[in-house]
Structure 1
Amino acid sequence: FDYVVDAIDVVRVKVAMIAFCRRAGVPVITCGAAGGQIDPTQIRVDDLSRTIQDPLLAKVRGQLRKGHGFSRDPKKKFGVEAVFSTEPLRYPSSDVACEVSVGGPAGLNCAGFGSVVTVTASVGLFAAARVLNGLAAAR
């Protein structure tokens, strides 16, 4: 592969993919969660070790450090680009949240944060732009 774009929302799978790509020397760009955010102008790209406001990427960082030897030193980069938003999360209010069954949320439903197409699409476009720029620079 020339590049891998990770847009998975499952922490253990995201961690496994990033760790594999790093070991294999394949450039990977990972996308943070877009739920609970509405402002695409706050999307940034930085090293995964420097992301903020993203609980998904925070869990990924922790597991990469714990189980895959990524540096715990906050001054050291992971060498993995991440697309994320600096916008604080907007939590759903109780008057608009749906009821969740005892088994908990499953599949695509309204049990979690909502997402806005302008944010999710922008995250994808940021990732695609980084890949295209990286490929062009390599030539």
Structure 2
Amino acid sequence: MQKWKYIKNFIDEENKDKLIREDYTYIVDAIDSVSSKLSLIITAHEKNVKIISAMGMGNKLDPTQIEVSDISKTSVCPLAKTIRKQLRANGINHLKVVYSRELPNRFDKSEEYRRTTASISFVPSVCGLIIASQIVRDLIDEF
């Protein structure tokens, strides 16, 4: 039995069932694309596979503001708001997420940079450590 599987594919509606199997214990979602993120989350939900999803870490500087929450309780995160709305439309009201309570910083408000959601190196890595910690605690709680 394989203990873990790293999938480096771009998930979409066509390959989601091939990539996501019912025998997975836990899925970590660290996808930036909204459509792929939704496809992964919805498929995991349909197959009853636990999933934890990283929300937007772009334009954040304070890793102490990162926390684990249900998506229904998130605030200030534009990505979480978009995902929450789409999940509700698909009948999904709960999802374990890691998000930041920090308001996104806007360093350059010019039109050229409006779509840029840069992240500083230590913020996404802290998010990843929090995800790993949460998964370990969830798995321990199962036993």
**TM-score, scaled to structure 1:** 0.79
Distance 1:117 1:98 in 2: 24
Runs of 4+ in 1 over 2 A off after TM superposition: 97-100
- Equivalenced residues, count: 120
- Whichever residue aligns with residue 17 of structure 1, its letter is L
Q: 1:74: which partner in 2?
A: none
1:114 is displaced (CA, Å) by: 1.9
**Cα gap change, 1:134/1:93 in structure 2, threshold over 3 Å: closer, same or farther?**
same
Structure 2 alignment gaps of length 5 or more: 1-23
1:131 is aligned to: 135
TM-score (norm 2): 0.77
Q: 2:91 aligns with which of 69, 84, 95?
A: 69
1:4 aligned counterpart, secondary structure: strand
CA contact (8 A) 1:33 1:84 kept: yes
2:80 counterpart of 1:57: yes
Q: Name the % identity.
A: 32
- Whether the 8 Å contact between 1:36 and 1:91 is mirrored in structure 2 is yes
Contact 1:9–1:56 (Cα < 8 Å) also in 2: no
1:82 aligns with 2:97: yes
Q: Which consecutive residues of structure 1, in runs of 5 or more, have no partner in the other structure?
A: 72-77, 106-110
Note the aligned Cα RMSD (angstroms): 1.9
Greater RCO between the two (CA within 8 Å, min separation 6)? 1
For 1:28, what is the secondary structure of its paired residue?
strand
